[in-house]
């Protein structure tokens, strides 16, 4: 279904991004990976996706907190794989603190990676998508793009901003073959969430298992984690012809969190 398409998935060395990259590769898309991590581990992921799915893969270690490197990521994907048809803005970080104590530099960093990087990547990629009159832009926001939680001022602001950006880009391209949508996951058990579970366990002097259960019980009615594979399948749908009139949507896959 995606044979001949090229996808850039930011922050795809781990977690949700890796799940989305694998799902797109499984449908035949060539993949530009991005993100941090152990070089040997990243090489294994890159070679593994290429051989498992018979697609081309490339990797860029661009630091998306820096606008020039974000632009460079789109340029190197185009140089390495010929073009960019699908852009998945997934890279993100979390910092947890009450607003009055929130470190200024962390506010700037969360906004830079979780929101501004998507803007710079979209800005860099839209001209070539317009030339071919086809494109899929998928922003991995969060249920925190739709509702708030305490102690997440920067994250919630960035994700609400990302949902807004999604709508603007969708509207600006509404008469073209370029769609832009957001995916809003609830809790997914990735390193980003494991850190929050570990902090909870330490704060309450409980086991990590119990902290994980409480984290789910507090917000997610299904009491089950969403998986990167499930989110990958939603991204695949967004890339399909069936989704050509899905424009400016923010779809929550969150075990019922947002329905409350």
Nearest distance from C-beta of residue 116 to ligand NAD, angstroms? 11
Q: Which stretch binds ligand NAD (CB under 6 A): 62-70, 76-84, 126-134, 209-217?
A: 62-70
Counting contacts by CB under 6 A, is residue 191 touching ligand NAD? yes
> Contacts with ligand NAD in 20-39 (CB under 6 A)?
34-37
Nearest distance from C-beta of residue 46 to ligand NAD, angstroms? 13
- The C-alpha atoms of residue 198 and residue 194 are separated, in whole angstroms, by 6
Nearest distance from C-beta of residue 136 to ligand NAD, angstroms? 17
> Contacts with ligand NAD in 149-178 (CB under 6 A)?
none
Counting contacts by CB under 6 A, is residue 111 touching ligand NAD? no
Q: CB-wise, 107 or 187, nearer to ligand NAD?
A: 187
67 neighbors 116 (Cβ within 8 angstroms)? yes
Pick the binder of ligand NAD from 24, 31, 81, 92 (CB under 6 A). 92
Counting contacts by CB under 6 A, is residue 63 touching ligand NAD? yes
Pick the binder of ligand NAD from 60, 142, 173, 179 (CB under 6 A). 142
- The C-alpha atoms of residue 37 and residue 99 are separated, in whole angstroms, by 30
Catalytic, 155? Answer yes
Kindly list the residues in this chain that would bind ligand NAD in the complex (CB under 6 A): 11-17, 34-37, 63-65, 90-93, 113-114, 140, 142, 185, 187-188, 190-193
């Amino acid at each position: 279904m995606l044979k001949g398409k090229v996808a850039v998935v930011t922050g795809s060395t781990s977690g949700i991004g890796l799940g989305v990259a694998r799902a797109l590769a499984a449908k035949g898309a060539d993949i530009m990976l991005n993100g941090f991590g152990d070089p040997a581990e990243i090489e294994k992921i890159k070679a593994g996706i290429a051989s498992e799915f018979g697609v081309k893969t490339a990797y860029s270690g661009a630091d998306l907190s820096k606008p020039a490197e974000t632009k460079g990521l789109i340029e190197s994907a185009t140089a390495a794989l010929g073009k960019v048809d699908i852009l998945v803005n997934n890279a993100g970080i979390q910092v947890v603190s009450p607003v009055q104590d929130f470190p200024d530099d962390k506010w700037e960093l969360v906004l830079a990676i979780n929101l501004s990087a998507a803007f710079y990547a979209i800005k860099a990629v839209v001209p070539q998508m317009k030339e071919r009159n086809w494109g899929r832009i998928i922003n991995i926001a969060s249920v925190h793009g739709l509702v708030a939680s305490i102690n997440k001022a920067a994250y919630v602001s960035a994700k609400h901003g990302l949902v807004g950006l999604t709508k603007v880009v969708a509207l600006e391209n509404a008469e073209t073959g370029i769609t832009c949508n957001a995916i809003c996951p609830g809790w997914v058990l990735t390193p980003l969430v494991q850190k929050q579970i570990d902090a909870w366990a330490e704060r309450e002097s409980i086991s990590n298992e119990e902290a994980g259960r409480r984290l789910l019980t507090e917000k997610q009615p299904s009491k089950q984690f969403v998986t990167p594979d499930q989110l990958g399948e939603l991204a695949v749908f967004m890339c399909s012809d069936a989704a050509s009139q899905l424009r400016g949507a923010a779809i929550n896959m969150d075990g019922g969190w947002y329905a409350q």
